[in-house]
Structure 1
Amino acid sequence: MRPIRQLLSALLGAAVLALILLGGSGPAAAHDTAESSSPAAGATLAAPPETVSVTFNKNPLGIGSHFLVNDAAGTNWADGGVQIVDNVASQKLRSGAPAGLYTVMWRVASSDAHPIEGSFTFTATAGAAGSTAAAAVPTMGTAQPGTIPAPEKAPSAEPFPWSLVIFVGTGVGILVALALMARRSLTPDGDQADG
């Protein structure tokens, strides 16, 4: 009976250790998330802003960062590269942006190097200084400078939490092993009864 108790104690200790290790690594496995945007999603502004930005819960990496700031006609008003300072990724806009609805699509590498992306919209009730209606409407068959077709992707979902699957699988395995050992210790051994 003593070896069974020692084995059960060892398995219980292993289970507690596994829970501590897997429980501690769960939150660290989560990807960074966007906390806010400027302008705020759905905001109405007097004119298009000079820059748009997204603030994250951790500092994103500059590798592969990309912003599209498209007006209702599909013209991209982003000017230059994405600037990342601490946990804020910013994109300047070209001057002369027209009034209307804008869709901002962003993609950055999170602090754990996984790409994350998202989008938000805002509306400008008037055009920026120097904008004209003709600049906002591209002509058929004529390429507009700075126009990049918007990627047609479904909104991205959070990645599947594999660490949770591993955690649950390990827990179930440990519980099955403990149940088998308890069953074996509670049932009389057939060989001893016959002897």
Structure 2
Amino acid sequence: MLFPAPATAHDSIVSSYPAAASSVDSPPDEISITFSAELLGEGGTGLIEITGPDGVVYSEGEPEIAEATITQHLSANAPSGRYTVLWRVVSSDGHPTSGEYGFEVLTSAPLSPSPTPSTTAAPTATPTPSSTESAGTDGVRTEGHGEATGGGAALPVFLITGVTVVLIGLLIVVLLLRNARRRRDAEQP
């Protein structure tokens, strides 16, 4: 009763390319996000949707999941500007987790010399934000259970939880000792 059950936390982002709130000189070939533990599932269980400054989705093909990393290819004709990356994966604890972050491309991809138009992937369903969404300090948003996606933010949560548990335990011990002292004093004539 004095010791709470351990809290389970979803996997958090350890790194991403491009990084949240960063700028890159040219459009990357792919977006990759690495989590703190191996992701569950293959094909269809992960999603990365990359939306450009013009509102067009530049994700190309299906995302690839390899251990703790999910990778999504980016269309070759991506323009310069601000991009939004929406992601959804299944954490190692079996629960889905999702979020979004942004980055900026400073220059457009060079146009190909061939006159054939390039195709972009059809827009996919956009995850809808819920009321449990929170904003991180580096522009990263997460949805669900308050897990941080900036990498290292899980430590303060565990630290705060641990300190809180210790303080509650000390308070209980002090109250029990005070109660025992009062009983002892009341029994003495």
| TM-score range relative to shorter protein | 0.5 to 0.7
Residue 92 of structure 2 is matched in structure 1 by 111
Structure 2, unmatched stretches of 5+, are: 134-140, 148-156
Question: In the TM superposition, what are the counterparts of 1:146-185 in structure 2 within 5 Å?
Answer: 146-148=122-124, 150-153=126-129, 154=133, 155-156=141-142, 158=146, 167=165, 171=169, 175-185=174-184
Q: 2:109 aligns with which of 127, 131, 137?
A: 127
Residue 153 of structure 2 is matched in structure 1 by none
Residue 52 of structure 1 is matched in structure 2 by 31
Q: Which has the higher helix share?
A: 1
Residue 10 of structure 1 is matched in structure 2 by none
Matched, 1:37 2:16: yes
Contact 1:76 1:146 in 2 (8 A): yes
Contact 1:104 1:121 in 2 (8 A): yes
Q: Give the superposition deviation at 1:29.
A: 2.3
Residue 73 of structure 1 is matched in structure 2 by 54
Of 120-129 and 146-155, deviating more is 146-155
Contact 1:74 1:147 in 2 (8 A): no
Counterpart Cα distance in 2 of 1:112 and 1:70: 29
Matched residue of 1:183: which SS? helix
Q: Deviations over 1:150-176 (max 9, x none)?
A: 445254361698x77x94797355654
Counterpart Cα distance in 2 of 1:82 and 1:145: 12
Residue 90 of structure 1 is matched in structure 2 by 71
Contact 2:76 2:109 in 1 (8 A): no
**CA 1:185–1:68 in 2, change beyond 3 Å: closer, same or farther?**
same
Query: What's the TM-score once normalised by structure 1's chain length?
Result: 0.62
Matched residue of 1:79: which SS? strand
Query: What's the TM-score once normalised by structure 2's chain length?
Result: 0.63
- The one-letter code of the counterpart of 2:80 is A
Number of corresponding residues? 158
Identity, in percent, stands at: 28
Contact 2:100 2:142 in 1 (8 A): no
- The one-letter code of the counterpart of 1:180 is N
- The one-letter code of the counterpart of 1:126 is S
**CA 1:183–1:31 in 2, change beyond 3 Å: closer, same or farther?**
farther
Counterpart Cα distance in 2 of 1:122 and 1:128: 19
Residue 139 of structure 1 is matched in structure 2 by none
